[in-house]
Structure 1
Amino acid sequence: MLSATVSADGPNLVPPANEQTANYWCTWYAQNYWIGRGTDLQSLKGVSNSAAREELNEHALFNEVDGWATTYLKRGRQDFIFLTDHGWQTKDANKRIAGGPPFFNLVAEPSDFPRYAGLEPKEVLKRFNDDIKSLGWNSLGIWTRGNVTLEQARTFVEWSKYAGIRYWKIDGGDTNEFNAFKAKQEIYPELILEYITGAGGNLNPKWDQQLDSYPSVYEIGGKLQQPMLDCLQHSDTFRTYDASPLLMSVTTLRRTHDILKQTQQQARYRSILNVQDDCNVAIGLGVLVASKRHPNFDERTLQGRDLHHQLSGKRRMQKRINEAERFGRWARIAPAFPAGDGVYVSSEHELVDRCQFTQWDTWDVQHLWQSGQPKRPRHHGPQHAAAQSRN
């Protein structure tokens, strides 16, 4: 007779957290929500990317009451990198000691992060990383955008290696020379670099037309097909980019479909796809997540109604934080794999979903609203295969 001793709660079949995870939680949606937080806005004036940049600071991250790093994702932090998005770097060109453009210099703004004032850049990154890890997160990830020389890239990679930074979100730029990728392969291969091409907007092309199919910009012959394929050969992760929340899943599924049908079983496509914050899609297709959801609701309204262009809709993602936490545990069992690995199959049948948008539902308001009034009703019909599978 065989016998085994297990705890009263039974055996734990979930592996420990993967220290090399490439899934992350990102501050960007919270930054946007903090614009005018605590007020009822009467118009969208002032709700902008530049305003969101100003919301990222030490208090927003670390205060004990509602700090993003201190209070969010309490049961899932070890499975996610904490990625500080647009706005953390210095706005003063004189402080960019290694050069680089305004959004790719890796020098934290001292007025936003006074706890690190007086430290050299690589030491700031190290202390910042230590502070994030002490709260239970996997590590600190950082946002960048722009083009850098190979010499600048080497310096920034050296700083990151010293600090233990494991992830850069390169949100545009460096896709001609891939200097950051070259530098990290040479100096610090463990550094994970995310590249993007953009996606032509938060909806797939021709969204306002009545069609039977809505290919994305990554489709064969599409506007960004070749740039996408180039990125997949010179990056560690590739993000399929922003999608409107009301049709996030179908828009993202179509983009992912258009990529994987071209890259399967071709090892040169080394990059792992990242599908933003769609955890269920990620589980089914073996890809990564950039979670941006947060629990705040009705704390910033537009004419009496909660305003959150990134998390609107009946899915109420603000109430689904545990969805991201569960995904983190699932990723320990079935980690994501590169776009060139495995086999991808999809149904020949296509599904079309249509949805009317309002000024509460998308940040791309110039296509929908003018002077506070709708130009005309618009519908989006993103297409995707009725069934998709990958192994």
Structure 2
Amino acid sequence: MNGDVFRGSALSVCMVVAALSCLGCRGSGSAESLVPAGAGESPNAWCTWATQNLSLVPGSVRGDGKILFAGDQGAAGARENIGDCAVFSEGGWIDGWDAVRGDLTFLFDDGWDVKPKIDRAKEIYLFGSLELDESKFPSCADKSFAQRLKKLDARVRERGWKGAGLWVAAQCARKNPDEKFTPEREREYWRERILWSKEAGINYWKVDWGERAHSVEFRKMLTELGAELHPGLLIEHSIPNSPVNDLRFDKSKGAFAGSGAFENSDPKLLDRIRALLKVSGYTRVYDTITPLTTPSTISRTAWYLSEGEKAGGKGLINVEDDVYTGAGLGCAYGVMRSPFWGAARSDEVARRRFKSAEVVRAVRWSRIAPAFPLDKSRTVFSEERLEDDWTFSEGQTWWRDAWGRKLAQSAPAVVARNLPLPKVSPEGADAPFVLASRHPDGPVAVSVMPRIKTGRGIFFPPAKIAVDADISGKKVGLFGKFSSISFKMPKKPSRILAQDLASDSPEDVSDECAWSDGTLAIPGSLSDRLCSKTRESGDESMPAIVLLAE
């Protein structure tokens, strides 16, 4: 492919961004928007990693004029595909997410602080430096490592983002593989780098894999140092695990075995995560693979929430890119998707590059109902579980063991935080996943999530849902596709306002909703109608609205 292809791709990105930005403009109606205008407080971020793998940028054109597909080169190629050109050039990644940019940290993922063409297998000891690589980011060159980061953060903020975030390897970088760190030296190493971030104004670390990735004591030490030296620094933790829940590939049989349920994972892994949830202020449920992201993420999130509460945790949970799962359960997002992606095999089923409005809607909902901590909730989930599956064709995932094989993932059919379990009445043989939560400040969210089956693809089982929550005078977020959702409302409302969460134009929808005997029912057709403009622009997102009945 040549530069003309890139320019065409950039043009399509600009069209999507323009459409979403337009939806975020103030409407001409007399009613005030139900979504606050200012940026929200949730620690949501957009991470560069997936885009490093799946994007085409001018800097990746080889001498023969062909595009280098970073995703085809694996993680090594992705680490090459980050720098001034990809991020800060006109129409670069920094220009994404205009409608919600101020709500999001721009998170520089794996590759920003290592030299070009690094060999992870042979040079893993070089990871974890937090020294911005000047050859990748020449615009931020400086003798001072803290000042390099300060320049990087300034460039991000001047484009309207909340700030720059940093991917961090869970280990000290070393001069050679045999170099050793005493506990005292390790502590001083991280103390210095936290102070670099404080001087630079960096307020977000994503601490991922590394030699100390599975050490809860190491992660506790980082969290405590951060609280002591730079209280504004949010340190995101995770315990690396498989991209699918409780499945093991038996090479002798050429098949996967296991339950597909996260709670049946290795007991040592679960114990380690429980210990982490007790001390971490912010925990990510870790990587999944599409198109099984939703059942995998729901299964993990239900477990993380309930076990974190039992452990006495006080932190927030990050659900990565499954943003409607996060919205329904009061969690934060680590957004990965982007319209900058090329036509990747890994996205041909989920088509997340065409679903930017979901991110805009979920992020704007978090202005109303920010992610809330474990100590402010009680999570319950149904005994009934739903199982999804997908047979991966060759090249449809980076995980080669999955090629040509069916993988199944299961999750609780219904999950709720601070609410009784909603009653779900499917209108056919299949039911959707249903997630619901009441924020400590009162707003209520309900997410109705799709299913996926081999041979059928992603589908949306119609269902009527009854939520045992009085929503009188409270804002309600409704995510996904449904037949109807009903709530308690003792008195008939005098007016019901609703709007697409991606817009600022509320409408009086009283005539489209039904109140009877203390129950208010909202039809799914209302959500579909209010969100129709994004579909007209080519976006394939599931709808999401905010509603207020008074």
1:63-102 pair list within 5 angstroms: 63-65=89-91, 67-70=92-95, 72-91=96-115, 102=126
Q: Which structure shows the higher strand fraction?
A: 2
Q: How far, CA to CA, are the matches of 2:391 and 2:377 in structure 1?
A: 37
Amino acid at match of 1:85: D
Give the aligned partner of residue 130 of structure 2. 106
1:141-220 pair list within 5 angstroms: 141-148=165-172, 149-172=186-209, 173=212, 175=215, 176-178=217-219, 179-206=221-248, 209=256, 213-216=259-262, 219=264
C-alpha change, 1:161 and 1:45, in structure 2 (3 Å) is closer
* TM-score in terms of structure 1 length: 0.83
C-alpha change, 1:163 and 1:85, in structure 2 (3 Å) is same
C-alpha change, 1:64 and 1:242, in structure 2 (3 Å) is same
Q: How far, CA to CA, are the matches of 2:361 and 2:47 in structure 1?
A: 17
Cα offset, 1:54, TM superposition: 0.6
The answer for unaligned runs of 5 or more in structure 2 is 1-26, 117-123, 173-185, 250-254, 419-550
Which of 3, 26, 32 pairs up with 1:11?
Answer: 32
C-alpha change, 1:293 and 1:253, in structure 2 (3 Å) is same
Amino acid at match of 2:321: D
* TM-score in terms of structure 2 length: 0.60
Q: Map Cα deviations across residues 239-280 of structure 1 (whole Å, 9 max, x no partner).
A: 1111111110001111112222323365x3122111110111
Q: Map Cα deviations across residues 109-159 of structure 1 (whole Å, 9 max, x no partner).
A: 111111122341111111111110111111100001122411011111111
Amino acid at match of 1:239: R
Amino acid at match of 2:232: E
Q: How far, CA to CA, are the matches of 2:71 and 2:336 in structure 1?
A: 23
Give the aligned partner of residue 124 of structure 1. 148
Contact 1:82-1:132 at 8 Å conserved across structures: yes
- Seq. identity, %: 29
Is the partner of 2:73 in helix, strand or coil? coil
Q: How far, CA to CA, are the matches of 2:51 and 2:29 in structure 1?
A: 40
C-alpha change, 1:265 and 1:342, in structure 2 (3 Å) is farther
Cα offset, 1:379, TM superposition: 1.1
Give the aligned partner of residue 21 of structure 2. none
Q: How far, CA to CA, are the matches of 1:32 and 1:220 in structure 2?
A: 28
Contact 1:86-1:143 at 8 Å conserved across structures: yes
1:1-391 pair list within 5 angstroms: 8-18=29-39, 20-34=41-55, 47-65=73-91, 67-70=92-95, 72-91=96-115, 102-148=126-172, 149-172=186-209, 173=212, 175=215, 176-178=217-219, 179-206=221-248, 209=256, 213-216=259-262, 219=264, 222-264=267-309, 266=311, 268-296=312-340, 299=342, 306-309=343-346, 311-313=347-349, 315-365=350-400, 367-369=401-403, 377-391=404-418
Q: Map Cα deviations across residues 22-79 of structure 1 (whole Å, 9 max, x no partner).
A: 11001001100147779689x99952111110111111000103x1012x11111111
Is the partner of 2:228 in helix, strand or coil? helix
By relative contact order (CA 8 Å, sep 6+), the higher-ranking structure is 1
Contact 2:55-2:70 at 8 Å conserved across structures: no
Would you say how many aligned residue pairs link Structure 1 and Structure 2? 356
The answer for unaligned runs of 5 or more in structure 1 is 1-5, 93-99, 300-305, 370-376
Deviates more, 1:118-127 or 1:278-287: 118-127
Is the partner of 2:165 in helix, strand or coil? strand
